[in-house]
Amino acid sequence: MNFKDIIADKTSGSSTILEKTILELVSYLQKESDSEYRLLNTELFGLFKAHPNFAVLFHFINSFFLETKHNPEPSSLLNFIAEYRKKWSDSIIHACKNLIYHEEFGSRTILVHSNSSAIHLLFRLAGDQGLHTKVIQTISGPGNEGKVQAEILSKLGFEVDLIHENAAGKFMREIDFAVFGADVIIEDYFINKAGTLQLSLLCNFYQKPVYVIADSRKLIHAAVLSEVLKKMILQEPVKPTEELWLNPPANVKPVNYWFESTPLDLITELVTEKGLLKPNKVSGMAKSTPISDLFHEELMK
């Protein structure tokens, strides 16, 4: 099992990280007739620790841990993974279709941020329907993964202006609405790439709609989490300082974060496979989910 590249991936969105994880896990289970589950679970937990703010990854690993307690054989786990992928494969497609049906896309200018497979799919579906729009894409520092998304959207046939998020105010009058992804959603806020909060505030000031698109796995009822898990999922550790400044002068301390929380009150609607939700309705969807004991066992090591 080799999760090193997935752990080191700083540009992909949560759905892409999950897909890479599943492919690596399937490859491992197909080769192992008698898997060493203690090692496997530790490897998966290490992957979760590398991307703790990705709710879909947490959802899958937790579901996998629960399954290993009942059906530990590789063949059973492979069947579980196949059923999991089948269940969730179309969820984000339905979410994208819900937004396209709700909001006019033709001849509009849309603000997007960071790099998200949900956004890729949204524009792919819009393009398939001939709904060609102009895209304002932020560069999304410090990783600048917005450049990755800009290239993807341009190859889908969309005109893309790449800007720095700090300059977004210059473009707000021409923007019709914004669409952001989300890595975690709880009762009163969502977590996404740093810069989302300031962009949402700008949109609110200029009275531009803000949509967050995600499947319902990303909604977590925070009350069911242990305090340790809650801290890991909802509180981001400081990232490497050299991404901001390799050799800072004395008395200068770079402080680097990749993600931030944005209050749901700043968005117009959350778009999932189940429809569009006003911010005050989101908490009703964040249902309790059993948490595998393996999470707590790994935390105690």
DSSP string, 249-295: PTT----B-SEEEEEGGG-SEEEETTEEE-GGGGGGG-------HHH
Cβ-Cβ contacts under 8 Å for 89 (sequence gap 6 or more): none
Locate tokens 């796995």: which residue? 217
Tokens of 209: 């709609």
pLDDT of residue 291: 86
Distance between terminal CA atoms of the chain?
20
Q: Where are the alpha helices (DSSP H) in the chain?
A: 4-8, 14-31, 37-50, 55-70, 74-88, 91-102, 117-128, 146-155, 196-205, 227-234, 293-299
Quick one: CA dihedral 102, 112, 108, 166, positive or negative?
positive
Cβ-Cβ contacts under 8 Å for 255 (sequence gap 6 or more): 238, 241, 244
Q: Which whole number is the average pLDDT over 223-251? A: 91
Q: Is 107 left (phi over 0), alpha (psi -120 to 50) or beta?
A: left
pLDDT at 296 over 90: no
pLDDT of residue 35: 58
pLDDT of residue 28: 87
CB 35 within 8 A of CB 29: yes
Least confident of 100-109, 168-177, 290-299: 290-299
| Better-scored residue on pLDDT, 35 or 273 | 273
pLDDT of residue 32: 66
Chain CA centroid to CA 113, Å:
12
Q: By three-state DSSP, how is residue 3 classified?
A: coil
pLDDT at 15 over 90: no
Residue 16 sits at φ, ψ, to 5 deg, of -70, -40
Least confident of 4-13, 163-172, 242-251, 262-271: 4-13
| Better-scored residue on pLDDT, 286 or 161 | 161
| Better-scored residue on pLDDT, 111 or 37 | 111
Burial class (CB in 10 A: 0-12, 13-18, 19+), 31: exposed
Q: Tens of pLDDT along 49-102?
A: 999 988 999 999 999 999 988 888 888 999 999 999 998 989 999 999 999 999
Locate tokens 């897909």: which residue? 19
pLDDT of residue 37: 65
Q: Tens of pLDDT along 242-283?
A: 999 999 999 999 999 999 999 999 999 999 999 999 999 887
Q: Is 156 left (phi over 0), alpha (psi -120 to 50) or beta?
A: alpha
**Mode of pairing for the β-strands spanning 210-213 and 269-272:** parallel
Biggest distance spanned by C-alpha atoms of the chain:
60
pLDDT of residue 195: 97
pLDDT of residue 190: 96
Strand partners, 262: 190
pLDDT of residue 33: 59
pLDDT at 36 over 70: no
Instruction: Return d(Cα 26, Cα 20) in angstroms, integer.
Output: 10
**Of residues 58, 37, 47, the one with CA closest to residue 9:** 47
Mean pLDDT of the chain: 91
Tokens of 301: 């090591």
pLDDT at 284 over 80: no
